[in-house]
Amino acid sequence: MQNNLKTKSLHGTLIKIDDCGVVLAADPGTGKSDLALTLIDRGHVLIADDCIDIIRNENKLLGKCPATTQQFLLIHDVGLINIHQLYSHEHTLNQCEINLIILLVSPEQTKKNEEPLQPLMTHRDILGLLIPEIHLPANKNRPLPLLIEILVKNWMLKKTGYNTVKDFMQRKNKKESG
Amino acid sequence: MIRKKLKIINKLGLHARATMQLVNTAARYQSEILIKYKNREVNAKSIMNLMVLAASQGSEIELIVKGEDEEDAAKAVIQLINNRFGEEE
């Protein structure tokens, strides 16, 4: 019997934003958990904070929360909180498919994004599957939770067939030629 | 890269206070510091990660350190664990 299930654990926070399973990845101390809390407060769903168990099932990557940390979030200076108790059951899930990674990078270390109309996009190989990865400079002065939400929504929109940049370019070209 | 097998010898194992000490020690170094226990390899700079391991007294773990200051980092972590995190037993 061929066993297609490969596993590993990933350092990151897994949140479901709309229908998208997003891994927020960053070095410890960057503020992942604070961001996760804000996103939950905005209505999104927590799967796992800080430690995600990853399982590959054929062409899908599933992220699960280890039993010990289910529903918990550790917030610096606030302590351990239980999302079920403070919010509701609708704000947590024990597992979801991973569709996208958002890597929070320090603004000084960021490779300059040559393309101002698009975010910095790459891919990460996890258990043999290529998962899209967006690099977001974690500038504390910017509304990071909103930026993350919009990055995800824009990415999902692109998957439905609407290309924001293409639309803009077409309109611009039309204006220039007309 | 440095890999070293260690045993958790303090009575309470990798409980909250010990985890905090490990995280504080690891945070001083630039290297990536991972602790492997059973099937999981977790980041030693993260409290939640270490709590998930639930490594009790007698657990055999593996320390994996990678980076410019890996020698110093490994030495500090090994010393902390072998000194029972400063606990009496």
Q: pLDDT higher for B88 or B45?
A: B45
- What confidence category does residue B13 fall into, taking pLDDT thresholds of 50, 70 and 90? very high
Mutate to test the interface with B, among A6, A10, A11 (most CBs of B within 10 A): A11
The pLDDT, as a whole number, for residue A178 is 67
Residues in chain A predicted with pLDDT less than 50, given as ranges, are 1-3
Please name the amino acid found at residue A2.
Q
Residue B40 confidence class, pLDDT cut points 50, 70, 90 = confident
Residue that wins the pLDDT comparison between B89 and B75: B75
User: What is the rounded average pLDDT of the residues B25-54?
Assistant: 90
Question: What confidence score (pLDDT) does residue A93 get?
Answer: 93
The Cα–Cα gap between A63 and A45 comes to 13
Global pTM value? 0.87
Partner-chain contact B51 A68, CB within 8 Å: yes
Mean pLDDT of chain B: 92
Tell me A111's DSSP state. P
Interchain pair A8, B54: CB under 8 A: no
Task: State whether B51 and A11 contact (CB < 8 Å).
Answer: no
Return d(Cα A38, Cα A78) in angstroms, integer: 14
Q: Which residues of B touch A8 (CB under 8 A)?
A: 41
Given B27, B45, B49, which is nearest A51 (Cβ)? Answer: B49
Kindly report the backbone phi and psi dihedral angles of residue A29, in degrees, each rounded to the nearest multiple of 5, phi listed first: 95, -5
Q: What is the mean pLDDT of residues B46-75?
A: 92
A89 three-class SS: helix
Q: B73 an active-site residue?
A: no
Residues 6+ apart with CB under 8 A from A48: A13, A14, A63, A64, A65, A66, A69, A70
Q: A79 and chain B: CB distance < 8 Å anywhere?
A: no
* pLDDT value at residue A177: 79
CB-based contact A69 B43, cutoff 8 Å = no
- Pairwise CB contact (< 8 Å): B48 & A29: no
> CA-to-CA distance for A63 and A50, rounded, in angstroms?
12
pLDDT at residue A129, rounded to an integer: 94
**What is the per-residue pLDDT for A2?**
37
**How does DSSP assign B7-51, residue by residue?**
E--STT-S-HHHHHHHHHHHHT-SSEEEEEETTEEEETT-HHHHH
Residue A1's pLDDT is: 36
DSSP designation for A50: S
Q: How far apart are CA A110 and CA A138, in angstroms?
A: 10
For residue B74, pLDDT over 90 is answered with yes
Chain B residue with the nearest C-alpha to that of A31 = B46
